[in-house]
């Protein structure tokens, strides 16, 4: 097991290295730079800026410098926000996105998956139909529409929640619901169809035929097998919920990492783009690794060493 994890970590590092290389050159091949603003800087000032951030060096030289710093886990400075380090920015902004994300993940696990299980075990019932209708709605309504509708009802009309920003912890609730809407609905549907699939398998019919109690069948046989496809999708979903989305952060005025990233790209802030792309990739890779390890726990037939 330890050997397997070690091997996986090596391959994650390799992927990150290739990703960093591709992103670096892609980013630099796009015209424009961090100091091309609408108002042209005086040429001497621009030169000084370029020199300060080593942007006057040839691209491959910059690449080697960046990679050297990256080995020390230093993501370098932000080019746009003077004097700020990308590491510090991520540390200060990630908790905001993560807090909303964790609330959404909790909703997903506490509402989405159980709803899928309940409807899967009672397919055709009234609850089943209601949940299917609601989850179809959740899947097709875009998050920004959901967010603005929630904002209008709860902040403008009822004035229960703040309209903008996060002065208190109440400000996190509406963003979390808007963010979770799609995932909760999606996981309810996925879990339901997975349960139905397992329930129609021969071994469940056998277990039923030999007179096992219904609770034993559900807990020993159905749940474990039905969770495999759910967990496969859950890993990447958790990664994307955690790292925040630009739209939600923009609508609700949260100083999160998603907003920072899009602004960084728009400003051609090379440090920010590289830093957050790598940060996303690290979280995604770790989640996928965890999922693969969980497989082995749930289903011993899956050999992780393969």
Partner 1 sequence: MKDINITKEMLKPLSDDKKDLEQVVFKSMPYWHEVWHRLIKNKLALLGIITIVLLFLIAIFVPFLVDYDYSDDNLDRVNIPPVMEILEDSEGNKYFINKDYRVYAIENGRISKQLQVKKEDFMKSLTYYGENMNIIMDYSNKENIKYLDKQGNELVEAGKIWNKDNILGTDIFGRDLFIRLVYGARISLLVAVVATIVNLFIGTIYGGISGYIGGRLDNLMMRLVDIIHTIPLTLYVILIMVVVGAGINSIIIALSSVYWVGMARLVRGQVMSIKQQEFVMAAMTMGTRKKDILMKHLLPNSIGPIIVSMTMLIPKAIFVEAFLSYIGLGVPRPMASWGTLSNDAVQTLNMYPYQLIAPAIAISVTMFAFNFLGDGLRDAIDPRLRK
Q: Which residues bind partner 1 (CB under 8 A)?
A: 15, 18-19, 22-23, 26-27, 30-32, 136, 139-142, 144-145, 148-149, 151-152, 156, 192-193, 196-197, 246-247, 250-251, 261-262, 265-266, 268, 273, 276-277, 280-281, 284
Task: Please say which residue, 15 or 216, places its beta carbon nearer to partner 1.
Answer: 15
Pick from 73, 65, 88: which is nearest to 16 by CA? 73
Task: Please say which residue, 4 or 144, places its beta carbon nearer to partner 1.
Answer: 144
| Residue 77: strand pairing partners | 85
Task: Please say which residue, 139 or 212, places its beta carbon nearer to partner 1.
Answer: 139
Task: Please say which residue, 13 or 140, places its beta carbon nearer to partner 1.
Answer: 140
Closest distance of CB 124 from partner 1, Å: 12
- Residue 85 DSSP code: B
- Residue 110 DSSP code: I
The residue count of the chain comes to: 306
Closest distance of CB 266 from partner 1, Å: 7
- Distance from first CA to last CA of the chain, Å, rounded? 11
Closest distance of CB 281 from partner 1, Å: 5
Closest distance of CB 267 from partner 1, Å: 11
Q: Report the alpha-carbon distance of residue 27 to residue 269 in Å, rounded.
A: 10
Task: Please say which residue, 18 or 71, places its beta carbon nearer to partner 1.
Answer: 18
Asked if 56 and 47 touch (Cβ cutoff 8 Å), the reply is yes
Burial class (CB in 10 A: 0-12, 13-18, 19+), 93: buried
Place of tokens 């899009």: 262
């Amino acid at each position: 097991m330890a050997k397997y994890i070690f091997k996986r970590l090596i391959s994650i590092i390799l992927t990150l290295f290739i990703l960093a290389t591709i992103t670096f050159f892609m980013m630099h091949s796009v015209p424009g730079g961090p100091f091309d603003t609408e108002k042209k800087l005086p040429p001497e000032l621009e030169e000084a800026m370029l020199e300060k951030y080593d942007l006057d060096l040839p691209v491959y030289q910059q690449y080697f410098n960046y990679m050297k710093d990256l080995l020390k886990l230093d993501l370098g400075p932000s080019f746009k926000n003077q004097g700020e380090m990308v590491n510090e920015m991520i540390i200060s902004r990630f908790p905001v996105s993560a807090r909303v994300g964790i609330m959404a993940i909790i909703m997903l696990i506490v509402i989405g998956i159980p709803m899928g299980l309940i409807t899967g075990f009672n397919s055709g019932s009234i609850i089943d139909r209601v949940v299917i209708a609601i989850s179809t709605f959740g899947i097709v309504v875009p998050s920004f529409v959901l967010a603005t509708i929630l904002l209008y009802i709860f902040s403008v009309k009822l004035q229960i929640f703040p309209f903008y920003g996060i002065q208190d912890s109440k400000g996190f609730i509406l963003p979390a619901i808007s963010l979770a809407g799609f995932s909760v609905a999606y996981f309810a549907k996925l879990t339901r169809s997975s349960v139905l699939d397992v329930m129609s398998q021969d071994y469940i019919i056998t277990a039923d035929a030999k007179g096992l109690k219904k609770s034993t069948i559900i807990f020993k046989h159905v749940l474990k097998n039905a969770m495999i496809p759910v967990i496969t999708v859950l890993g990447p979903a958790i990664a994307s919920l955690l790292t925040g989305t630009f739209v939600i952060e923009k609508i609700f005025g949260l100083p999160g990492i998603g907003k920072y990233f899009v602004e960084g790209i728009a400003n051609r802030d090379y440090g920010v783009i590289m830093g957050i792309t790598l940060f996303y990739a690290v979280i995604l890779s770790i989640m996928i690794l965890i999922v693969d390890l969980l497989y082995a726990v749930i289903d011993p037939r899956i050999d992780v060493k393969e």
